[in-house]
Amino acid sequence: MTGMSLGDASRHVTSENPVFELKMALVRGTEYRVFKNIPPHARALVHASREAHADGAAEYLVFRDERWTYDAFLNEINMLSAVLEEDLGVRKGGRIALATRNCPEMLILMMAIASLGAVTVFLNAWWTTEELDFALRDSDAKIVFADAERIKRLTPLAVDLKLVMIGLRDGEALTPLKYSTLRDSAGHARTSEVDIDTDDDFAIMYSSGTTGHPKGVVLTHRGAMNAVFTWLMQAAMAPLIDPPPPDAAEAPRPSVLIVTPLFHVTATHPMFLLSLPAGAKLTLMDKWDAHEAARIIDREGITRFMGVPTQSADLVAASRDLCLSLDTLDFLGSGGAKRPAAQVVELAQAFPQANIATGWGMTETNANGIGMAGADYLARPGSAGRLYPPLQDLKFLDDTGSEVSVGEIGELTVKSPCNMRCYLNNPEATAEVLSDGWLRTGDLGYIDDEGYVTIVDRKKNIIIRGGENIACLDVEGALHRHPAVAEACAFSVPHTRLGETVGAAVQMRAGSTLTVQEMQDYLSDHIARFKIPEHIWIQAAPLPRSATDKIDRRALRAICLSKLNDLEGSS
Report the CATH number at residue 171.
Answer: 3.40.50.980
Looking at residue 235, its amino acid is A
At 462 the pLDDT is 83
Q: Could you tell me the CATH number of the domain that includes residue 478?
A: 3.30.300.30
- Residue 138 belongs to a domain: yes
H helical segments located in 49-171: 70-86, 104-115, 129-139, 148-154, 158-161
At 534 the pLDDT is 96
At 188 the pLDDT is 74
Tell me, what DSSP letter sits at residue 350?
H
- Angle at alpha carbon of residue 195, lines to 192 and 198, rounded to 5°: 115
CA distance 526 to 523: 5
- Residue 471 belongs to a domain: yes
Out of 165, 194, 219, pick the residue that ends a domain: 219
At 554 the pLDDT is 87
CB neighbour class for 210 (10 Å; exposed up to 12, middle 13-18, buried from 19): middle
- Residue 510 belongs to a domain: yes
Provide φ and ψ at 439, rounded to 5°.
Answer: -110, 120
- Residue 164 belongs to a domain: yes
Helix (H) or strand (E) holding 504: strand 499-508
- Residue 261 belongs to a domain: no
- Residue 531 belongs to a domain: yes
Sign of CA dihedral 202, 204, 208, 212: positive
How many domains is the chain built from? 2
- Residue 265 belongs to a domain: no
- Residue 80 belongs to a domain: yes
Residues pairing with 207 in the sheet: 215
Out of 194, 219, 244, pick the residue that ends a domain: 219
Q: Which residues of the chain have pLDDT under 70?
A: 1, 208-212, 547-549, 568-571
Q: Which residues contact 99 (CB under 8 A, 6 or more apart)?
A: 123, 125, 132, 144, 145, 146, 147, 150, 154
At 548 the pLDDT is 63
> Which residues in 409-484 belong to E strands, given as ranges?
410-415, 422-423, 434-435, 438-447, 452-458, 462-465, 468-471
Contact between residue 489 and residue 550 where contact means Cβ atoms under 8 Å apart: no
Q: How far apart are the first and last CA of the chain?
A: 58
At 210 the pLDDT is 46
Residue 541 Cα to chain centre, angstroms: 40
Could you list the residue range(s) of the whole structural domain that residue 141 is in?
A: 72-219
Out of 219, 240, 271, pick the residue that ends a domain: 219
